[in-house]
Amino acid sequence: MRRKILFNRQNEDKYTGFGSQAQAQGNRLVNKDGSFNVKRDGLPLFNRFNPFHDLILMSWTRFSLMIFAFYFTINLIFAFIYFFIGIEHLGGIIGDTEKDKFFEAFFFSTQTFTTVGFGRINPTGYAASAVAAIESLIGLMAFALATGLLYGRFSRPNAKLIRSENAVIAPFQGKTAVMIRIANARNNQLIECEARMMLSYIEKETSIRRFLTLKLEYEKVSALSLSWTIVHPIEEDSPMYGLLMQDLLDIEAELIVAFKGFDDTYSQTVHYRYSYNALEIVYGAKFLPMFERDKDGLATLLHMDMIGAYEILEMGIKKPA
């Protein structure tokens, strides 16, 4: 007979910002990239888009592709406009075929848009000159916006942490403990660092999602100079005491970790969050050392590629069939 899982709700947190209705939520609360697993619907059309917010937060690859696509598209549009007005209204065109003339109009558009203006091709007539004047104004505003976006992306403080792909349950001071490991991926200094860990689970009798704060061995460290193994000792007062892997799967457990620290480069507090579901917890394992003395003995060598490296131990912990 399977035992009934009981939790001490003394450390229950009811003000997490997450809902308690388990049947109305996705399979995890926090995505692997740290974002909340929420999709918003029902907003008016114009409220669904926040261009500045999206352009600041999107990846550099996507941002670069969008800038290139906008630059190419806007110049292609103006090239068609010049071609529609009449290519004879652009003085200095030397192309013989329609294709060559169109490409010359396109490159004239790029020169006008960027205000480079090499001077071989020039607009003649009111129509072409007016279009060139409007394009120059649009180009100035576009580059001003692009400059602001670049500054916003470079100046936005954020914690670039790497973390272990799995949480492990390892021996700890004669007992066991849940452990995860993080490290700073930048050369900047993170000081006054704090961590918090919560256990989210679904109470099967009521289908309500509960949140329990897990006590950590150390909630604060003065500086994140090397790696930090965040440890929750599984003692008798721990919500995870006596739970096997199958128990965590049954209650759809999720470990939510929140980190904050002071970045001395930006002189601002930065935040980072992530989660592990039950399938990402490895029972009977411990992390391998990831730093050592370098060859000349003058510095510490931190192997960032070993952030999640672990070895399996024989702990007598039952695993699901």
| pLDDT digits 0-9 by tens, 115-155 | 888 888 888 889 999 999 999 999 999 999 999 999 888 88
Whether residue 13 lies inside any domain: the answer is no
The residue range of the domain holding 151 is 47-155
Q: Where are the alpha helices (DSSP H) in the chain?
A: 51-57, 60-85, 98-113, 126-155, 245-250
Please say which residue of 137, 155, 173 terminates a domain: 155
131 and 69 share one domain = yes
Whether residue 17 lies inside any domain: the answer is no
Cα atoms found within 13 Å of the Cα of residue 165, Cβ hemisphere only: 6
Whether residue 300 lies inside any domain: the answer is yes
State the Cα–Cα distance between residues 44 and 251, nearest whole angstrom.
37
E strand or H helix that includes residue 183: strand 175-184
State the Cα–Cα distance between residues 289 and 174, nearest whole angstrom.
20
Whether residue 318 lies inside any domain: the answer is no
pLDDT tens-place string over residues 226-238: 889 999 999 888 8
Give the total number of structural domains in the chain.
2
Mean pLDDT of 243-258: 86
Residue 48's pLDDT band (cuts 50, 70, 90): low
> How far apart, in Å, are the Cα atoms of 59 and each of 62, 64, 65, 230, 296?
5, 9, 10, 28, 38
204 and 118 share one domain = no
163 and 123 share one domain = no
Q: Which SS3 state, helix, strand or coil, does residue 280 take?
A: helix
197 and 307 share one domain = yes
171 and 291 share one domain = yes
Instruction: State the pLDDT at residue 45.
Output: 65
Structure tokens at 38: 């929420």
State the Cα–Cα distance between residues 62 and 74, nearest whole angstrom.
18
Beta carbons of 138 and 129 less than 8 angstroms apart:
no
Beta carbons of 12 and 211 less than 8 angstroms apart:
yes
Whether residue 63 lies inside any domain: the answer is yes
pLDDT of 195 above 90: yes
Structure tokens at 147: 């400059």
181 and 118 share one domain = no
- 266 Cβ contact list (under 8 Å, min separation 6): 155, 157
pLDDT tens-place string over residues 156-188: 877 788 899 999 998 888 888 999 999 998 888
Q: At 94, which CATH number?
A: 1.10.287.70
145 and 172 share one domain = no
151 and 168 share one domain = no
Beta carbons of 95 and 120 less than 8 angstroms apart:
no
Whether residue 89 lies inside any domain: the answer is yes
pLDDT tens-place string over residues 263-316: 888 788 888 888 898 888 998 899 999 988 888 878 888 898 899 999 988 765
pLDDT tens-place string over residues 49-108: 778 888 888 888 999 999 999 999 999 999 999 989 988 888 888 888 888 889 999 999
Residue among 200, 199, 198, 159 nearest 182 (CA): 159
182 and 148 share one domain = no
Residue 36 DSSP symbol? B
Please say which residue of 134, 155, 176 terminates a domain: 155
Q: pTM (2 decimals)?
A: 0.70
184 and 303 share one domain = yes
Place of tokens 């700890």: 172
Please say which residue of 130, 155, 180 terminates a domain: 155
State the Cα–Cα distance between residues 9 and 5, nearest whole angstrom.
12
Instruction: State the pLDDT at residue 188.
Output: 84
Whether residue 319 lies inside any domain: the answer is no
Instruction: Name residue 179's beta-bridge partners.
Output: 168, 231
Sign of CA dihedral 212, 218, 220, 221: negative
141 and 175 share one domain = no
Whether residue 253 lies inside any domain: the answer is yes
Place of tokens 């500086």: 223
95 and 232 share one domain = no
DSSP letter for each residue of 150-171? HHHHHH-----EEE-SSEEEEE
Instruction: State the pLDDT at residue 13.
Output: 63
Q: Which SS3 state, helix, strand or coil, does residue 89 take?
A: helix
Task: Compute how many other C-beta atoms are within 10 angstroms of the C-beta atom of residue 271.
Answer: 12
